[in-house]
Amino acid sequence: MNRDFFPADTRTDSAPHGAMFDYLLRLGDDSLILCQRLTEWCGHAPALEIDLSLANIGLDLIGQATLFLNFAGAIEDRGRDGDRLAFHRDASDFRNCLLVEQPNGDFAQTMARQFLFSTAQLGLFEQLMLSTEPRIAEIAAKGVKEVRYHADLAADWIVRLGDGTDESRNRMVVGLDWCWRFIDELFLVDDVEAGLIEQGIAVDRSALRGAFDARLSSVLADAGLPAPVYPRGVRGGRAGRHSEHLGHLLATMQHLPRSYPDAVW
């Protein structure tokens, strides 16, 4: 539980192309990596309806990722578009939070991760709609309705499994336990974001924790699940220090475009 995946800081939070580029990578990579994880369920979910749900949530996420990463590429202005950023960066250049790269585990663990991420993302997007950067505001306004649906669907499953059989309850407890150590990072504010928060571009994530905790408590209570006991938090994703899992995920996701860079549909 308290394993630390990472060596001592080897990278700094410095942003080579500016804080704005970095922030857009964080937003886009969260959606991109979680989408890739969800697609691993394609054809393997416990039921056809769940298969459809997970794939369709992934589709919404890939849409958000495309919008954020295309914008990041435009801000960077070095000829990289969303596809280039998705398929031709190494793990240490990804800026997603650690939660989204965690393995699917069983269905309970997948839904635990989904509920925690979507609930945090919902709070974030609701505020990002007010960003002084109009492009970010409109991407968030577009995505917020989708994310609300994801958060609600996942909450339903927390309750169904938590308040289900002994087996499903145990699995949900274990699934949530896997995730707790990655929650602090979702609300972390570092130097990259502090400046953007000043300008009204970024959202102060630390201010979103209260609403997140309240929603979490309410859903856990409905599910008859125990309140979280947070172990020491693990962090590093925003600075490119990732768990081993991300490398394996990228190996699958990037294999084709990296092996055949000129391949087209």
Residue of 176, 165, 163 whose CA lies nearest to 106? 176
d(CA 176, CA 92): 26
Residue numbers of the site for another protein (CB under 8 A)?
A: 49, 52-53, 55-57, 59-64, 66-67, 134, 137-139, 141-143, 145-146, 148-149, 152-153, 156
Q: In the numeric block, which tokens belong to residue 46?
A: 């416990």
d(CA 219, CA 213): 10
How far the first Cα of the chain sits from its last, in Å, is 44
Half-sphere CA count of 226, side-chain side, radius 13 A:
10
Residue nearer to another protein on the CB measure, 143 or 240: 143
CB of 134 to another protein, least distance (A): 8
d(CA 107, CA 104): 7
Residue nearer to another protein on the CB measure, 82 or 236: 82
Q: In the numeric block, which tokens belong to residue 85?
A: 């950023």
Residue nearer to another protein on the CB measure, 66 or 243: 66
CB of 139 to another protein, least distance (A): 6
In DSSP notation, 118-177 reads: HHHHHHHHHHHTT-SSHHHHHHHHHHHHHHHHHHHHHHHHHHHHHTS-HHHHHHHHHHHH
CB of 157 to another protein, least distance (A): 10
Residue nearer to another protein on the CB measure, 137 or 188: 137
Give the torsion sign (CA, 13, 16, 20, 24).
Answer: negative
d(CA 146, CA 237): 24
| Cβ neighbours of 85 (radius 10 Å) | 24
CB of 47 to another protein, least distance (A): 9
Residue nearer to another protein on the CB measure, 66 or 110: 66
CB of 105 to another protein, least distance (A): 21
Residue nearer to another protein on the CB measure, 91 or 161: 161
CB of 145 to another protein, least distance (A): 6
Q: In the numeric block, which tokens belong to residue 84?
A: 């280039």
Residue nearer to another protein on the CB measure, 153 or 216: 153
CB of 3 to another protein, least distance (A): 34
